[in-house]
Amino acid sequence: MTGLDLTGKTALVTGGGTGIGLMIAKAFCDHGAKVYITGRRLEVLEATANRLNNERLVPLQMNIVNKDSIRNAVKVVDQNDGKLDILVNNAGILGQYFPYISDETAPEHEKMGDFLFEQGSFESWSEVLQTNTVAPYFVTMAFLTLLQRGAQSRPGETSSVISISSAGASMKLSNNNFTYPVSKAGTTYLSTLLATEFAIHKIPVRVNCIEPGIFPSELMSGTPEEIANLMQKPAPGAFSATPLLRAGKDEEIATMAVFLASSAGGFTTGAVMRIDGGLSLVNPPPSSICVSSSTSTMTSTSNPASASSPGLVTTPIADAKVSTNTNGIVATDASPGDAGGDGDGDAGGDGDAHGDARGHGDRGDADSAAVGSAVVETVE
């Protein structure tokens, strides 16, 4: 058995029906694990499982913000397997999106505070924080006993919890959405706290966090060629394009999750793995980069020649000022001012979501939209 082999292990991925959650679930199956994919809409999960035709991929209905629903999912896994080896807290929602935050030409920008106060709501903030930050805590605690059993079934090994946060949690930009990066910063820190407490109390469960950058998802419409072209320029709300000038690939995040879930990652806990192609390094630009009024480009004060160095992306100021258009990246069925959505496809997002007119709905994998994308983030 190799270090990345997951044979005999049982995993559960929230928001596993589409997007990053499905990328991870498929990789776990490919490495031998039995994987429960959860969401609020069972028919969507079943359609995914039927399409992939993998007997190790098991649909399981669970609403991550409802304790009774979580208890029922724990009961199902307990009755069927008696343990859980891997838990991936992936489901999430984006929240409200306000293009005029970064668009200085928008009439709302001049009185941005007034508009954000009136158009935002405590309910929207609560919904995002409850889903992205609070739910992973309760889901982890609900499954902790089964996770401990999983570790006990493999003497000398540990179980694994992986939380999917967002590169936006580490960036100092709102990307036209204050709620989402705040909630994901909480996700990242929660992961650190859980890892610390479990280690102190000798609970054999490792906890790590992945902060994705821009990954293809249903939040990004267009052909692969169109998306590739979009990656050559900054997304709305960002200063610079991803330095690698492309979106992430399925295997680039899925393999990291496999590593953290496997015995190969057995010495890793409390880690934050950022997989964003360097996006968070240049948004905002490092302190060594300033704006030259004579050239209207971003150049390095420490090394002026670096502005033309191979591989270094320099961004004209005209491009850094983001307009209200989405540069081709759109959120299906999302109303203006909203982050789009996350769901099983009908909301224009990832995970398992109802996708109402606001783009919310069942919780899914908001991160695969990507930080800085027109919809808001990546994540991610």
Catalytic residues: 165, 180, 184
Beta strands, E only, the chain: 10-14, 34-39, 57-61, 86-89, 159-164, 205-212, 272-275, 289-292, 297-300
Please state, in angstroms and rounded to a whole number, the distance separating the CA atoms of residues 174 and 94. 12
Start-to-end CA distance of the chain, whole Å, equals 33
Residue among 22, 102, 12 nearest 324 (CA): 102
Please state, in angstroms and rounded to a whole number, the distance separating the CA atoms of residues 88 and 23. 12
List, in sequence order, every residue forming a beta bridge with 81; answer none if it has no partner: none
Please state, in angstroms and rounded to a whole number, the distance separating the CA atoms of residues 142 and 76. 13
Sheet order of strands, 272-275 included: 57-61, 34-39, 10-14, 86-89, 159-164, 205-212, 272-275
Measured in residues, the chain has a length of 380
How far, in whole angstroms, is CA 305 from its chain's centroid?
36
Backbone angles phi and psi of 152, in degrees to 5: -65, -25
Residue 123 DSSP SS3: helix
Q: How many helices (H) and strands (E) does the chain have?
A: 10, 9
**Backbone Cα Rg of the chain:** 20
Are residues 243 and 277 in contact, defined by beta-carbon separation less than 8 angstroms? yes
Angle formed at CA 312 by CA 309 and CA 317, multiple of 5 degrees: 110
Are residues 92 and 39 in contact, defined by beta-carbon separation less than 8 angstroms? no
Residue 202 DSSP SS3: coil
